[in-house]
Amino acid sequence: MSQRTEPRTTAATLNPAQARRSVGQTITLFIGKFGALIVLAVLVLIFSFLSPFFLTWGNIVQILNQSALAAIIACGLTLVLATNQFDLSIGNVASLAGVTVSYLLIQGFPIALAIVIATLVGVGSGLINSFLVTVVGVNALVATLGVGSLAIGVNYFISGGAAQPFASVAADFSLISVGNWLGVPRNVYFMVMIAALLWVVLNRTDLGRNMQAVGGNTEAARLAGVRVKGVTSAAFVVCGVCAAITGILLASVVGSGQPTGGDGFTLQAFAAAFLGTAVLREGQFHIVGTLVGVLTVSTGFNGLALTGVPSYVQFLFQGIVLIAAVSFSTVARKLTRAS
């Protein structure tokens, strides 16, 4: 007996509407997987043409140095985003941690103790965020926005809205971030170590796999025995600690705690994390992607500065990157789940 075979569906057998839809999906998925790398390559080509100083070793090191603190806070945010939550308090927490460590140094606290207490600021913010989201049931956007406002209030209570310079009493604290090791800025080493640690957590531990499971399908993860509340809380705490570390290192670089010093990291971290979903994985948050996203944003900032454009163009660039990254991330995830 001859076996009946079903006709194969090919591009030739599709009607024009189906063919256009198939091509559109293929292009969208391609951009969702390689979009950030394409953008980074295009930026490098454009700025290399516009400025002879762009691809010099000194400027490359400068881009890495500019990326370091943003990468630390963005990698922490990546864990929260991987659980399908948000944290809008990270910039305010970074500012508060920087002011806290500087204020404590001015009061005569030992450097190590001041750093520990400032890091606990991040732990506390993460615990409050997780409590509001997982126990009280407040929407993450609202909860973290409120916690960020609380951080601003505490910040201004401590600082009075003024910078907290510590150089006269704790000059050694600046040595944590200022200077180079083997020609590479110290903050770059901190970035690499923290990113590597979080990559291991997210990809090689049960906690990280559970975070991704919760982000993929919360109910399915719960039915599989995952402690959703505990996993989500861990992500918020790690995110808070990374924000605090960013603020501490920023204070070390600047030489003082700035009441609004870390606020700008919020938008930059979100832009980098969402842009990173268009790196090798369609619409998924992961550490390597976030690092590429940070480098892309920093490369854009650096190149625009070298070409002498007004500062507002940098904000336009960052906004366009964020909107485009979120759009393609959302579409890519929908198409991936549908396929």
Query: How many Cα atoms are found within 13 Å in the side-chain-facing hemisphere of 177?
Result: 20
DSSP tag of 11:
T
pLDDT, residue 20, reads 55
Residue-wise pLDDT for 194-213, tens only, equals: 999 999 999 999 999 999 99
Beta strands in 88-200 (DSSP E): 164-165, 180-181, 184-185
CB 84, CB 139: distance < 8 Å: no
Helix-, strand-, coil-residue percentages of the chain, each rounded to 5? 75, 5, 20
Of the candidates 104, 127, 130, the one whose C-alpha atom is nearest the C-alpha of residue 115 is: 104
Residue-wise pLDDT for 43-78, tens only, equals: 899 999 988 899 899 999 999 999 999 999 999 999
CB 69, CB 249: distance < 8 Å: yes
What residues have CB less than 8 Å from 100, skipping those under 6 apart?
A: 114, 117, 118, 121, 158, 257
Is pLDDT of 218 > 80? yes
pLDDT, residue 317, reads 84
Residue-wise pLDDT for 77-95, tens only, equals: 999 999 999 999 999 999 9
Is pLDDT of 2 > 70? no
> In this prediction, what percent of the chain has a pLDDT beyond 90?
62
pTM score of the predicted model:
0.88
32-41, 68-77, 238-247: lowest mean pLDDT where?
32-41
Query: CA 145, 148, 149: angle at the middle one, nearest 5?
Result: 90
pLDDT-derived band at 168, boundaries 50, 70, 90: confident
pLDDT, residue 1, reads 45
pLDDT-derived band at 309, boundaries 50, 70, 90: confident
Cα 320 to chain centroid, rounded = 17
DSSP tag of 135:
I
The CA distance from 18 to 11, in Å, is 9
pLDDT-derived band at 313, boundaries 50, 70, 90: confident
**What distances in angstroms separate CA 25 from CA 35, 216, 297, one per listed residue?**
14, 21, 26
Is pLDDT of 11 > 50? no
pLDDT, residue 16, reads 59
Cα 152 to chain centroid, rounded = 21
Structure tokens, 232:
């989500």
Query: How many Cα atoms are found within 13 Å in the side-chain-facing hemisphere of 248?
Result: 26
The CA distance from 10 to 98, in Å, is 59
Residue-wise pLDDT for 113-159, tens only, equals: 999 999 999 999 999 999 999 999 999 999 999 999 999 999 999 99
> In this prediction, what percent of the chain has a pLDDT beyond 70?
86
The CA distance from 293 to 287, in Å, is 10
DSSP tag of 12:
T
Using a 10 angstrom Cβ sphere, with 0-12 exposed, 13-18 middle and 19 or more buried, the burial of residue 150 is middle
Mean pLDDT of the region 307-330: 79
Is pLDDT of 40 > 50? yes
Structure tokens, 250:
């920023």
The CA distance from 179 to 249, in Å, is 13
pLDDT, residue 13, reads 55
Please provide residue 164's backbone torsions phi and psi, each rounded to the nearest 5 degrees: -120, 80
Is pLDDT of 269 > 80? yes
